[in-house]
Amino acid sequence: MRFRHLTGMMLAAVCLTGCAEHSQPAPQEHTEETAAGTQTAPETTTEATTTTETTTTAPPPEPYKFNPHVYSPMFGSVIPQENWDAFYSLCDALRAGETTFACAGQEAYEWATDSVVLGHLFPAACMKITGESKDGTVPCENGTGRIYYTVPIAEFTARQAEFEETVTAVLNGCLEPDDDDFEKCLKLYRYIESTYTYESIPEGGTDGAQYSAIMEHKGICSHFSGVYAYFLMQVGIDATDIGCFAPDMCHAWTYVVLNGQGYHVDPTWALMSDRQTDKLLLEYFMMTDERRAETGCPVDDLTVDLLPEYWVNRSSLKFPATDDRYYMKDYSELDSLDEQTKTVHYTDMNGDSHELHYGASEK
């Protein structure tokens, strides 16, 4: 099996025909730093006894850390575990500036070093390493894979470190440590809508599409869909970018799994920079198959970059979205998010106010 090196770039090019808030292996656990605080009350003495009273405060919320081992459980049945293991070994080696990594075999090596896989799951390495030998060495043998950098190693590790700082700043800048998964989805969606600008890829660009979009806050539909999925995977939410090729619509968006249910989320069509507004459009957030199809994007023959078969109809995987618990009326805009009562307050196109209750009681 050899992944498509140019699939992502081809999708990005054709997506120009269909695409159009500013703030700033088995699954790897999302790791966070822990800081605990203990406060002791002063000692109080009486004639009869001496009593020492101790009060322990709850630890402060834990910040988000960069996760180099992002994972999408939905691909677990079609991508072998040894491929994930090789990929995570490669990620660790790249962060350390090493030239080899543990790898079970040639198939795992090819998957781990594929530009599409790197672009979606370890963006800073896309186009900066290759799995093809130019010096006559064997890329993978005896359980060891070789890394062929296309830039000086020191340049790559500095690039990776800067990328990690950027991603960490985004997560901690727009999320709170106690956010539930719905709140993470909505807040990261709002971040992209308010921060990113639709702009075509420069010809001859050599940076990975998702990397460039994250670092420069611009791109097209196939970039935004991958970036949104990547941010969600960073905080432990299963997501991937998907797309459609149709005679009158070629477009990419994100498929999100929340509470065991799938939803379509379109980070491109709700861009605030295109609408000249400071209100978040909710029409393209947590859509069902039916609603996605009504927008002109067919969902019966989807493309998925990370699928070995690329086309959904050639794979055993399906990407259904039938749950409408998060339905909000067309052209609705976000007014506020009440995290205490787990309520989204929004206004429809007629100016009428509505509430969506997303808490556990609504599931």
Q: Is residue 247 part of a domain?
A: no
Domain boundary among 241, 262, 290: 241
pLDDT tens-digit map of 174-207: 999 999 999 999 999 999 999 999 987 665 555 7
| CA pair distance 216, 298, nearest whole angstrom | 30
Are 360 and 226 part of one and the same domain?
no
Secondary structure letter of residue 41 according to DSSP: P
For 42, 95, 180, 336, the CA distances from 339, given in Å and listed in that order, are 36, 36, 9, 9
Are 344 and 233 part of one and the same domain?
no
Are 339 and 222 part of one and the same domain?
no
For 116, 118, 126, 167, the CA distances from 95, given in Å and listed in that order, are 19, 13, 13, 15
Which pair of tokens denotes residue 248?
A: 């009158």
Are 187 and 72 part of one and the same domain?
yes
Q: Is residue 317 part of a domain?
A: no
Domain that holds residue 225: 1-25+65-241
Are 213 and 338 part of one and the same domain?
no
Q: Is residue 349 part of a domain?
A: yes
- Cβ proximity of 157 and 178 under 8 Å: no
Are 117 and 217 part of one and the same domain?
yes
What is the average pLDDT value for the chain, to the nearest integer? 85
Q: Is residue 86 part of a domain?
A: yes
Among left, alpha and beta (phi > 0; psi -120 to 50; other), residue 26 is left
pLDDT tens-digit map of 157-166: 999 999 999 9
Are 342 and 226 part of one and the same domain?
no
Q: Is residue 309 part of a domain?
A: no
Contacts of 112 (CB under 8 A, 6+ apart): 83, 86, 87, 89, 90, 101, 103, 131, 145
Secondary structure letter of residue 145 according to DSSP: E
When pLDDT is averaged across residues 68-83 and rounded to a whole number, the result is 95
Q: Is residue 111 part of a domain?
A: yes
Domain boundary among 211, 241, 271: 241
Are 220 and 73 part of one and the same domain?
yes
Q: Is residue 73 part of a domain?
A: yes
Which pLDDT does position 278 carry in this prediction? 83
Instruction: Quote the number of domains for the chain.
Output: 2
Weakest mean pLDDT among 106-115, 247-256, 268-277, 302-311: 268-277
Domain boundary among 180, 209, 241: 241
Q: Is residue 303 part of a domain?
A: no
| CA pair distance 214, 224, nearest whole angstrom | 9
pLDDT above 90: percentage of residues in the chain: 72
Are 195 and 342 part of one and the same domain?
no
CA angle 70, 74, 79 (to 5 degrees): 80
The pTM score is 0.83
